[in-house]
Amino acid sequence: MKNSTTLSSAAGIVSASATGGSLIGYTVALTGPAANLGGYATAQVVASSLPLVSGGPALSLAVAALGGPATAGVLLCVGVGATVYGGCKLINKLFN
């Protein structure tokens, strides 16, 4: 049981780190006018690839309400990590 918790924790940390690295890498790679928007532009691009999330001014306002793109990015990474951790725990519980 302890090994599965360690594995789940590791998977959560790796996925959160990978998400953060991807967001940082994408933000750094922005060019042209979008580079001036930084994390806000990254949020718009990520949102446009998700069918249930609307982009545009409402998304920028939501990101600003969370404390800006850095805070929103951290919350996204933590959410991804927690989801992967929970998924690993659920799979382990179902099959063991």
The phi and psi torsions of 15 (rounded to 5 degrees) equal: -65, -40
User: Mind listing the pLDDT tens digit for each residue in 3-51?
Assistant: 777 888 899 999 999 998 888 888 888 888 878 888 888 888 888 777 7
Alpha helices in 1-96 (DSSP H): 2-29, 39-48, 57-65, 69-95
Dump pLDDT digits (tens) for 39-74: 888 888 888 777 777 778 888 888 888 888 888 889
Stated pTM of the model: 0.75
Report d(CA 40, CA 21) in Å as an integer: 16
DSSP 8-state code for residue 37 = T
